[in-house]
């Protein structure tokens, strides 16, 4: 129990460090080279207008003061209001979060459904000819940047064949292309990781032991090799999440899917600081949650963790 | 083929294809032999002899692209090489089973140990899971695992090495096979545990045959009725174990037998080991403690150890794994910081030495590591490797260093062109020679060799040992040898210290300690390594169980839980190292008892 | 077999052994094509990449002397493609170098210190790896503006943790090898050990990571350009070309296909090199460690 508490507090400490680090970084980076007031005021605004705006949004204070004020607000979960629309920043971001989560869920599901069987099959017998061909296809597929695949899919299904609509996320039909595109982003990499882990597990000596008692090939793959391979894969979940999010941003922009990726893109163009800061915060929280969850899962399923090394 | 022949191997060849039209690599070449019902056959060979591939091909488990290219393997008359995959699966674990060498790697770390047993029973005995569980628990109990029903659900890392191997034996025996193949079943284990596992194998193979594969002839001595000797894929000689061990016909067999260090016969002593006059101490260790921290707890790997190494003398430190012997050596080399105690080299206290003095010490004491494959940087040429210490100590101009390197290469009996080649091109024995050359370059006074020959083949071991001794003589070195192989230590050392769980239990002149041991642990180590000389007393003195973990040593005398002669006093108080009339230090309450046996 | 056939087989075998695998050979050969296109850009371009003939708009591929057709302003796509490749490759290359330098230093330092410094560095790297760096990249570039140096430096600054993690793990493992302990035992200095044993030991892993990282940078650059946050408006990099093609998908699909093919070609090629290097390292490693 004591170990759990100390591990938990360490994790919390990590989270605080992350949060502080990211938000501070954002705060200073944003102000470093861009001036949102100019953007907001437009091209024809005179200097008095600009000064007035500056005062209104509190940008005329010294930097450090702004930072402290900001830090205090963060603790109250108040990120201010969007410079563009005037809505409160954090609620705005949170309102668009479900769309992104939906996309992520759909994309991840398709990815897993494809990657796990293919990856396991590829890893099981890496020297078979058929496997080499499929491997080559996967190598090729990994070279396809996700948005390229998305564009090609749009080209084929929307433009040429006119089967599927391309925008928004109202209707289930609009869900298909974005999830497929996101999956094409993630699947090749995941397939290779799973294949590598499975192949690595199959090379171990305990596979030989299982064969020596007469287990069938299928039984060996799924009972002995796969649990080990999954462990290795789960450990990479946090890195996968970063990748997933990057993919989601691009997909959302492409398909005008109203999630936080699209919001990020639009806010970046208008230098809408409060919203950008809020998005950073929300993403940091998500990262923390995903990491913690995967850590917990990892600890539960690996019997070696938590034991004193004998 | 007679009725009672279980397995007949007939002109079997196994080969591995190589890339791009090079000749295939033939690892088993036209081998034929037979095993009768209930017979125990020993298959002996060094690395590369093909013995493991032969065993694997019986079960159809040859890895990678290797395959049998000709010949037959007849199990009860049926040719296994023509059996279908399904038939083979039925035989594996059923009629024929195998015990592998490395019990840690052979178990799946994320599955409970019982799962394999249950699976095997369900596959071969056609019963349900509950029944299988019961039978597995019974088998585990038969091999000596306490609390089998609960332990079945434990994971491999929760057992000790010896226990894991017992579980492997259980796995092999559970379906009453006709033939058990044991591939180096004891090599990865401590000496005292090896004996136990071998006994276990012997007792279980009452109605089935055993094919014991090993590189160590002495292992076959007590166990096998028939011996087959292999070399580079071919059979060199075969016959009853009596004939082979006492009357070998082939020179290779003779070499194998001779290579096993024996008691008696010529010892490899330096002729000026006891010069007229007093021995001059070179390295003194007093009350050394070395502590480690693991999972938050600290424990002493080395506990109050005192040693003296004299000039031109060879001292041996023996013990099993976990005894702390390597740690003592590392502390001497200042690779580890001692928690307490004093180490003095040539009058200089190492703890107080400044940078400059310490550097000089690092020149005068050199270290040879155990694993010749890990101790040389694979990216450096041999010349660079040997010259490295000389460069570090600025021992001469570039030209002088080069000359010295060439000279050293010749001294260690390596070809002159080795200087520009890479370690990957050399064998284990050759790499150890390179390590020796490297150590000698800066003209040390003391050479510490940590298990210098244990990872080498038997015939090579003797050569390297001889080389070590001749170099010692030539350069007037003092030698500290750390080993677990008693006969080797007997051959090479003047004095020896026996270590158990971080403490010295007996030390003195090798001649005395290893001929008439006073401590029960020393006696049991001896009985484990030369069973036939000690056969009569062995049973009485044999150490039971396994070495305890250094994290939690037993109270009182640390050896008492395993000692056949232990009494209540041994459990209560720890004995003190005292010198007896022969000059031997013993740490036991009843030093005389061993003699009485 | 004739003597000549034998020598061909022998020559082939030697090449194979040198490269270890077909992948590496193929990858390098394919990449050489890219390099040639860059070096001989001026000679290979058929038209001016920035000026178009408005009477020639939307020519299909192969029509009227335009190898890959023209775009909405009549500009020759082939020439534009060549113009942009140099930009993309150098941006991605420089970003990789920046990330490599920062990351390697951090990794080496982290592996040698102990205590809170190491823990802190590790945490920073962990967090940086877990957080989607694209967000930061987008924000920074949006703020600073488009251009070669903003993009390159941003990508480098955002992706160095990848190198730090790998270098840290490898260095730790190398420092525990017996031959390093041996060097310490006879008194070698830390700097000598680093230079002589650790850095050469890092080389195989680093080359693999460098290759894959370069491929990732190529993708990142085109993604950011596509979003309008990378290469400046006029430069015809793949990403920009893709962006420009969006409005004309119905009319001129080749405007999409050409840059797609370009990106795919480059990225697959570099990935092949990375794969080849990795299996080469694995094979060599197996032989060394036996």
Least-confidence region, from A210-214, B11-15, B452-456, B464-468: B452-456
CB-side neighbour CA atoms (13 Å) of A233: 24
Q: CA–CA separation, B412 vs B429, rounded Å? A: 11
Mutate to test the interface with B, among C187, C191, C193, C289 (most CBs of B within 10 A): C187
Q: Is the ipTM beyond the 0.90 threshold?
A: no
pLDDT of C97 > 60? The answer is yes
pLDDT of C271 over the 50 cut: yes
pLDDT in tens, A244-261: 888 888 888 888 888 888
> What's the CA gap between C156 and C92, in Å, rounded?
9
Give the distance from CA B1 to its chain's centroid.
39
Q: For residue A202, which of A229, A183, A176 has the smallest C-alpha distance?
A: A229
* pLDDT score recorded for residue A309: 29
Q: Domain spanning B281-596 has what CATH number?
A: 3.40.50.300
User: pLDDT of B372-387, one tens digit each?
Assistant: 888 999 889 999 999 9
Whole-angstrom Cα distance, residue C161 to residue C123? 11
- Tell me the domain boundaries of chain B: 107-176, 281-596
- C217 touches A: beta carbon within 8 Å: no
Domains: count for chain C: 1
* Chain segment C184-194, per-residue pLDDT in tens: 888 888 889 99
Query: pLDDT band for position A126 (50/70/90)?
Result: low
Give the distance from CA A159 to its chain's centroid: 29
Q: How confident is the model at residue A128 (pLDDT cuts 50, 70, 90)?
A: low
Q: Is A45 exposed, middle or buried (0-12, 13-18, 19+ CB in 10 A)?
A: middle
pLDDT of residue A308: 31
Least confident stretch, B111-120, B457-466, C208-217: B457-466
Is the pLDDT score of C106 beyond 50? yes
**Spatial separation of the C-alpha atoms in residues B228 and B211, rounded to whole Å:** 10
Sort residue C257 into left (φ over 0), alpha (ψ -120 to 50) or beta.
alpha
CA dist., res. C249 & res. B80, Å (int): 65
DSSP state of B422: -
Q: Determine contact, residues B155/B98, Cβ cutoff 8 Å.
A: no
Name the residue facing C263 among A139, A145, A253 (closest C-beta): A145
Confidence band (pLDDT; 50, 70, 90) for B559?
confident
Q: What is the pLDDT of residues B134-163, one digit of tens each?
A: 989 988 888 888 888 888 888 888 888 888
Is pLDDT of A129 > 70? Answer: no
CB of C250 less than 8 A from some CB of A: yes
Least confident of A60-64, B145-149, B319-323: A60-64
Closest of A279, A297, A270 to residue A42, by C-alpha: A270
As a whole number of angstroms, the distance between CA B457 and CA B130 comes to 46
Question: The dihedral of CA C142, C144, C147, C148: what is its sign?
Answer: negative
Given a cut of 50, whether residue A307 has pLDDT beyond it is no
For A212, the closest chain B residue by CA position comes to: B92
Contact across the interface for B369 and C181, Cβ inside 8 Å: yes
Going C136 to C140 to C142 to C145, the CA torsion angle's sign is negative
According to the model, what pLDDT value does residue C9 have? 66
Judged by CB atoms closer than 8 Å, whether chains meet at B120 and A206 is answered as: no
- B562-582 pLDDT, tens digit per residue, is 776 777 777 777 777 777 766
CB proximity under 8 Å: B 429-448 to C: 435, 438, 442
Contacts of B100 in chain A (CB under 8 A): 205, 208-209, 212
Which of C16, C179, C200 is facing B376, going by the closest CB pair? Answer: C179
Averaged pLDDT, B50-61: 88
User: C42: which residues sit within 8 A by CB, 6+ positions away?
Assistant: none
pLDDT above 50: residue B187 = yes
Contact A241 C267 (CB under 8 A): no
Query: Could A145 and C242 be called an inter-chain contact, meaning their C-beta atoms sit closer than 8 Å?
Result: no
Distances, alpha carbon C78 to alpha carbons A155, B163, C65, C154, C226, in Å: 21, 71, 10, 29, 19
pLDDT, tens only, C232-267: 887 888 888 888 887 777 777 778 888 888 888 888
Q: Do B98 and A212 lie within an 8 Å CB cutoff? A: yes
Residues C22-26: what's their mean pLDDT?
A: 79
Q: Which of B317, B305, B312 is nearest to B279 (CA)?
A: B312
Q: Which has more confidence, B539 or B163?
A: B163
User: Per mean pLDDT, which of A43-57, A150-164, B373-387 is the most reliable?
Assistant: B373-387
Q: What is the pLDDT of residue A40?
A: 58
Per-residue pLDDT band for A35 (boundaries 50, 70, 90) equals low
Q: What DSSP string runs through A185-253?
A: HHHHHHHHHHHHHHHHHHTSHHHHHHHHTT--HHHIIIIIIHHHHHHHHHTTHHHHHHHHHHHHHHHHH
CA distances from A123 to A2, A202, A221, C20 (A): 40, 8, 9, 21
Interface of B with C in 376-395 (CB under 8 A): 376-380, 388-389, 392-393
Tell me whether B108 touches chain A (CB under 8 Å). yes
- Determine, for residues C123 and A17 on separate chains, whether the beta-carbon distance falls below 8 Å: yes
Q: Which residue has the higher pLDDT, B57 or B576?
A: B57
Q: Measured between alpha carbons, how far apart are the two ends of chain C, in Å?
A: 35
The verdict on residue C255 lying in a domain is yes
Q: Tell me the backbone φ, ψ of residue C53, rounded to 5 degrees.
A: -100, 110
Residue C15 is assigned to a structural domain of this protein:
no
What strands lie across the sheet with B78-79, from one edge to the other?
Answer: B25-36, B5-16, B67-75, B78-79
pLDDT band at residue B3 using 50, 70 and 90 as cut-offs? low
pLDDT score at C287: 41
Task: Give the residue on C whose Cα is nearest the Cα of B364.
Answer: C186
Task: Please determine, for residue A306, whether its predicted confidence score (pLDDT) is greater than 60.
Answer: no
A134 vs A211 pLDDT, higher one: A211
Q: Assign residue B556 a region (left: φ > 0; alpha: ψ between -120 and 50; beta: otherwise).
A: left
Alpha-carbon distance of C290 to C283, in angstroms, equals 10
> A293 — contact with chain C (CB < 8 Å)?
no
Of residues C180 and A51, which shows the higher confidence score?
C180
Greater confidence (B403 vs A76) lies with B403
Listed in sequence order, the DSSP H helices in B59-159 are 85-91, 113-125, 129-142, 148-151
Chain B CB contacts of A224 below 8 Å = 108, 111
CB contacts, 8 Å: B119 with chain A: 213, 215
* Touching A: B residues 118-147, CB under 8 Å: 119-120, 123-124
Output C227 or A48, whichever has higher pLDDT: C227
Cα C152 from Cα B43, distance rounded (Å):
65
pLDDT of C105 > 90? The answer is yes
What is the rounded CA–CA span in Å between residue B162 and residue B145? 10
The shortest CB-CB distance from B92 to any of A205, A212, A227 is to A212
Q: Which positions in chain B touch C196 (Cβ < 8 Å)?
A: 377, 380, 388
Beta carbons within 10 angstroms of residue B394's beta carbon:
8
**pLDDT (tens digit per residue) in B198-250:** 888 878 767 788 898 988 777 777 778 888 999 888 888 888 888 887 888 88
Residue-level pLDDT at C19: 66
- Within chain A, what is the greatest distance between any pair of CA atoms? 86
Q: Nearest C-alpha of chain B: how many angstroms from A226?
A: 10
The phi, psi pair for B75, rounded to 5°, reads -105, 115
Nearest by Cα to B214 from B186, B253, B195:
B186
Q: What is the CATH number of the domain that holds C28?
A: 1.10.3720.10
Q: Is the pLDDT of residue A33 over 70?
A: no
Residue-number span of the structural domain to which C257 is assigned:
20-289
CB-nearest to B106 from A209, A228, A302 is: A209
Phi-psi region of B537 (alpha: psi -120 to 50; beta: other; left: phi over 0): alpha
Q: What is residue A136's DSSP assignment?
A: H
Assess if residue C13 is contained within a domain: no
- Other chains touching B, judged by 3 or more CB pairs under 8 Å: A, C
Residue C183 lies in a domain: yes
Per-residue pLDDT at B480 = 92
Is-contact B523 B517, C-beta < 8 A?
Answer: yes
How many angstroms separate the CA atoms of A210 and A231, rounded?
19
Query: What pLDDT score was predicted for residue B592?
Result: 65
Assigned domain for C5 exists: no
Distance of residue A261 Cα from the nearest chain B Cα, in angstroms: 39
Instruction: Indicate if the pLDDT at residue A64 is higher than 80.
Output: no
Gyration radius from chain B CA atoms: 26
pLDDT number for residue C288: 37
Q: Which band of pLDDT confidence, cut at 50, 70 and 90, is reported for residue A218?
A: confident
Neighbouring subunits of C (3+ Cβ pairs under 8 A)? A, B
| Residues linked to residue B209 through DSSP beta bridges, in sequence order | B179
Residues of A in contact with B63 (CB under 8 A): 208
Instruction: Give the pair of three-digit tokens for residue A64.
Output: 């450090």
The lowest-confidence range among B142-156, C60-74, C147-161 is C60-74
> Which residues pair with residue C70 across a beta bridge?
C76
For an interface test with A, give the residue of C131, C137, C157, C255 to mutate (most A CBs within 10 A).
C131
Closest CA to C270 of C22, C33, C27: C27
Q: Cα(C31)–Cα(C26) distance, rounded to whole angstroms?
A: 8
pLDDT band at A290; cut points 50, 70, 90 = confident
Look-up of token digits 């705006």 = A53
Average pLDDT over residues C92-115: 92
- Mean pLDDT over B112-125 rounds to 89
Indicate whether C14 belongs to any domain.
Answer: no
With 70 as the cut, is the pLDDT of residue B505 above it? yes
Contact yes or no for B123 and A211 at CB 8 A? no
Residues of chain B contacting C201 with CB distance shorter than 8 Å: 377, 379
Choice among B349-358, B406-415, C80-89 with the minimum mean pLDDT:
B349-358
Is B359 in the C-facing interface, judged by CB distances under 8 Å?
yes
Average pLDDT, chain B: 83
| C125 within some domain | yes
Are the Cβ atoms of C132 and A269 closer than 8 angstroms? no
């Amino acid at each position: 129990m004591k170990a759990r508490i100390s591990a938990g507090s360490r994790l919390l400490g990590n989270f605080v460090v992350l949060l502080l680090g990211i938000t501070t970084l954002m705060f200073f980076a944003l102000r470093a080279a861009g001036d949102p007031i100019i953007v907001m005021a437009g091209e024809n605004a005179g200097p008095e207008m600009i000064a007035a705006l500056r005062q209104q949004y509190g940008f005329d204070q010294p930097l450090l003061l702004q930072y402290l004020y900001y830090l205090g607000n963060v603790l109250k979960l108040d990120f201010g209001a969007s410079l563009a629309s005037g809505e409160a920043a954090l609620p705005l971001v949170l309102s668009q979060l479900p769309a992104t989560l939906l996309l992520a869920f759909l994309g991840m599901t398709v990815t897993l459904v494809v990657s796990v069987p293919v990856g396991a099959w590829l890893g099981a017998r890496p020297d078979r000819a058929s496997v080499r061909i499929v491997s080559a296809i996967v190598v090729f597929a990994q070279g396809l940047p996700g948005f390229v695949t998305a564009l090609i899919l749009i080209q084929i299904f929307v433009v040429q064949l006119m089967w599927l609509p391309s925008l928004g996320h109202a209707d289930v039909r609009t869900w298909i292309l974005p999830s497929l595109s996101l999956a094409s982003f993630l699947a090749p990499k995941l397939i290779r990781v799973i294949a590598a882990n499975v192949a690595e597990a199959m090379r171990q000596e305990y596979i030989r032991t299982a064969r020596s008692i007469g287990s069938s090939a299928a039984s060996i793959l799924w009972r002995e090799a796969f649990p080990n391979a999954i462990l290795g894969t789960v450990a990479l979940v946090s890195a996968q999440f970063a990748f997933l999010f990057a993919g989601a941003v691009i997909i959302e922009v492409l398909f005008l899917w109203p999630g936080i990726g699209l919001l990020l893109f639009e806010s970046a163009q208008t230098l809408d600081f409060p919203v950008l800061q809020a998005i950073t915060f929300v993403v940091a929280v998500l990262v923390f949650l995903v990491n913690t969850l995967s850590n917990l899962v990892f600890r539960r399923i690996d019997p070696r963790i938590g034991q004193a090394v004998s | 083929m007679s009725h009672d022949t279980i397995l007949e191997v007939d002109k079997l060849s196994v080969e591995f294809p190589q890339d791009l039209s090079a000749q295939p690599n033939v690892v088993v070449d036209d081998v034929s032999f037979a095993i009768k019902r209930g017979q125990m056959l020993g298959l002996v060979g060094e690395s590369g002899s093909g013995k493991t591939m032969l065993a694997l091909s019986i079960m159809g488990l040859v890895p990678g692209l290797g395959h049998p290219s000709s010949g037959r393997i007849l199990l009860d008359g049926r040719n296994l090489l023509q059996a279908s995959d399904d038939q083979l699966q039925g035989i594996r674990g059923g009629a024929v089973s195998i015990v592998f060498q490395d019990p840690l790697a052979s178990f799946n770390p994320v599955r409970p140990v019982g799962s394999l047993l249950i699976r095997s029973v369900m596959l071969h005995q056609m019963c349900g899971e509950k029944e299988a569980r019961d039978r597995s628990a019974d088998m585990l109990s038969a091999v000596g695992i306490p609390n089998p029903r609960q332990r079945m659900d434990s994971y491999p890392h929760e057992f000790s090495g010896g226990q894991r191997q017992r579980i492997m034996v259980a796995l092999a025996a559970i379906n009453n096979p006709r033939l058990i193949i044991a591939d180096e079943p004891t090599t990865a284990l401590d000496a005292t545990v090896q004996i136990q596992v071998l006994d276990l194998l012997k007792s279980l193979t009452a109605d089935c045959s055993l094919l014991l594969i090993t590189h160590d002839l002495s292992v076959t001595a007590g166990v096998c009725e028939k011996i087959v000797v292999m070399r580079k894929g071919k059979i060199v000689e075969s016959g009853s174990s009596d004939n082979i061990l006492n009357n070998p016909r082939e020179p290779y067999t003779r070499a194998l037998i001779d290579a096993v260090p024996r008691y008696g016969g010529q010892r490899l002593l330096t002729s000026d080991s006891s010069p007229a006059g007093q021995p001059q101490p070179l390295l003194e260790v007093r009350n050394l403690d070395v502590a480690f921290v693991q999972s938050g707890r600290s424990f002493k790997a080395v506990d109050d150890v005192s040693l003296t190494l004299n000039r031109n003398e060879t001292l041996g430190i023996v013990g099993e794994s976990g005894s702390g012997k390597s740690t003592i050596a590392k502390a001497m080399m200042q690779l580890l910081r001692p928690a307490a105690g004093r180490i003095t080299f040539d009058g200089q206290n190492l703890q107080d030495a400044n940078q400059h003095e310490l550097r000089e010490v690092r020149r005068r004491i050199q270290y040879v590591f155990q694993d010749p494959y890990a101790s040389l940087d694979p990216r450096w040429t041999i010349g660079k490797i040997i010259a490295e210490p000389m460069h570090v100590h600025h021992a001469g101009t570039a030209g002088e260093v080069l000359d010295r390197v060439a000279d050293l290469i010749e001294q260690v009996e390596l070809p002159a062109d080795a200087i520009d080649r890479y370690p990957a091109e050399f064998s284990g024995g050759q790499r150890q020679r390179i390590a020796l050359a490297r150590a000698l370059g800066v003209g040390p006074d003391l050479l510490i060799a940590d298990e210098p020959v244990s990872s080498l083949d038997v015939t090579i071991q003797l050569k390297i040992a001889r080389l070590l001794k001749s170099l010692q003589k030539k350069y007037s070195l003092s030698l500290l040898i750390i080993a677990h192989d008693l006969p080797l230590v007997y051959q090479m050392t003047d004095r020896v210290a026996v270590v158990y769980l971080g403490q010295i239990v007996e030390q003195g002149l090798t001649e005395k300690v290893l001929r008439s041991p006073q401590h029960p642990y020393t006696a049991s180590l001896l009985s484990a390594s030369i069973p036939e000389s000690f056969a009569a007393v062995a049973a009485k003195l044999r150490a039971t169980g396994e070495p305890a973990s250094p994290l939690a040593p037993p109270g009182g005398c640390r050896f008492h839980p395993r000692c056949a002669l232990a009494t209540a006093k041994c459990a209560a108080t720890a004995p003190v190292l005292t010198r007896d009339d022969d000059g031997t230090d013993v740490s036991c309450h009843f030093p005389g008892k061993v003699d009485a046996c | 077999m004739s003597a000549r056939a034998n020598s061909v087989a022998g020559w082939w075998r030697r090449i194979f052994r040198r490269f270890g695998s077909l992948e590496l050979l193929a990858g390098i050969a394919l990449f050489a094509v890219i390099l040639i296109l860059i070096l001989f850009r001026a000679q290979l371009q058929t038209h001016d990449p920035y000026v178009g003939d408005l009477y020639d708009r939307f020519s299909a591929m192969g029509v009227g002397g335009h190898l890959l057709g023209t775009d909405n302003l009549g500009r020759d796509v082939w020439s534009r493609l060549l113009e942009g490749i140099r930009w993309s490759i150098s941006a991605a290359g420089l970003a990789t170098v920046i990330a490599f330098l920062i990351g390697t230093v951090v990794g080496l330092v982290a592996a040698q210190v102990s205590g809170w410094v190491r823990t802190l560095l590790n945490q920073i790297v962990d967090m940086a790896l877990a957080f989607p760096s694209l967000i930061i990249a987008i924000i920074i570039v949006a703020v600073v503006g488009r251009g070669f140096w903003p993009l390159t430096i941003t990508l480098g600054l955002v992706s160095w943790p990848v190198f730090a993690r790998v270098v840290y793990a490898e260095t730790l493992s190398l420092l525990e090898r017996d031959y390093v302990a041996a060097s310490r035992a006879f008194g070698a200095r830390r700097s000598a050990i680093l230079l002589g044993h650790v850095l050469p030991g890092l080389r195989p892993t680093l080359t693999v990571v460098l290759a894959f990282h370069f491929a990732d940078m190529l993708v990142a650059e085109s993604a950011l350009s596509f979003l309008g946050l990378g290469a400046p408006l006029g430069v015809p990099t793949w990403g920009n070309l893709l962006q420009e093609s969006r409005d004309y998908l119905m009319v001129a699909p080749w405007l999409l296909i050409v840059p797609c093919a370009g990106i795919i070609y480059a990225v697959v090629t570099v990935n092949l090199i990375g794969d080849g290097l990795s299996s080469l390292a694995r094979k060599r490693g197996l032989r060394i460690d036996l």
